[in-house]
């Protein structure tokens, strides 16, 4: 299973006065990447099909983040921020999805932040974690097998 690359849309307010990214901002970039992948995979449609009438949500249950390099304001030739999030959706397990994610400099490929985020299926009405249906897991596996290499979203 390969990585899907999404742009890390940084804002001036993400950085301190000396130009260093605030450590918490990478979680927002990672979240935007997960939502882009969910949309591309058609996860909302899959969940409505597999769990008709249920109010199902995915919630973050665990993060493991390693800050490898300070992230400073960097720009490419077009004066755009040159950061991207590369995300690998791992094979779904019982009630959770694991995303391996990293924040990279686009030009050099240097990994600045590396992390793993686990999300679980939650039914808020029942107040508990639910199991991924076999159909849901299969749809996700079909999506994962549909791409090779680094794919841009």
Q: Where are the domains of the chain?
A: 4-152
Q: Is the dihedral of CA 106, 31, 112, 61 positive or negative?
A: negative
For residue 103, give the nearest of 137, 72, 78, 145 by alpha carbon.
72
**Which residues make beta-bridge pairs with 67?**
113
Please tell me the CATH code under which domain 4-152 is placed. Answer: 3.10.129.10
Which pLDDT tens digit goes with each residue over 62-88?
Answer: 999 999 988 876 655 555 558 889 998
pLDDT score of 104 more than 60: yes
DSSP secondary structure code for residue 97 in this structure: E
Average pLDDT over all residues of the chain: 81
Concatenated DSSP letters for 8-40?
A: ----GGGB-TTSBB-TTHHHHHHHHHHHHHHHH
- The SS3 assignment for 83 reads strand
H-type helices in 8-150, by residue range? 25-41, 43-50, 134-144
> Residue 100 and residue 61: Cα distance in Å, rounded?
14
**3-class DSSP state of 79:** coil
Q: For 101-127, what is the mean pLDDT? A: 86
| Confidence grade of residue 28 (pLDDT, cut at 50, 70, 90) | very high
């Amino acid at each position: 299973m390969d990585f899907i690359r999404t742009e890390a849309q940084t804002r001036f307010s993400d950085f301190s006065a000396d130009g260093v990214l605030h450590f918490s901002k990478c979680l927002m970039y990672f979240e935007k990447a997960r939502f882009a992948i969910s949309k591309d995979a058609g996860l909302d449609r899959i969940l409505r099909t597999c769990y008709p009438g249920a109010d199902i949500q995915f919630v973050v249950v665990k993060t493991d983040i390693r800050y490898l390099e300070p992230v400073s304001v960097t720009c490419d030739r077009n004066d755009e921020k040159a950061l991207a999030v590369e995300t690998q959706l791992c094979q779904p397990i019982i009630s959770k999805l694991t995303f391996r994610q990293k924040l990279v400099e686009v030009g050099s490929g240097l990994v600045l932040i590396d992390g793993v985020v686990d999300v679980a299926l939650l039914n808020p009405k029942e107040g508990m974690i639910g199991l991924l249906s076999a159909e849901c897991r299969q749809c996700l596996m079909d999506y994962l097998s549909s791409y090779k290499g680094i794919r841009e979203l």
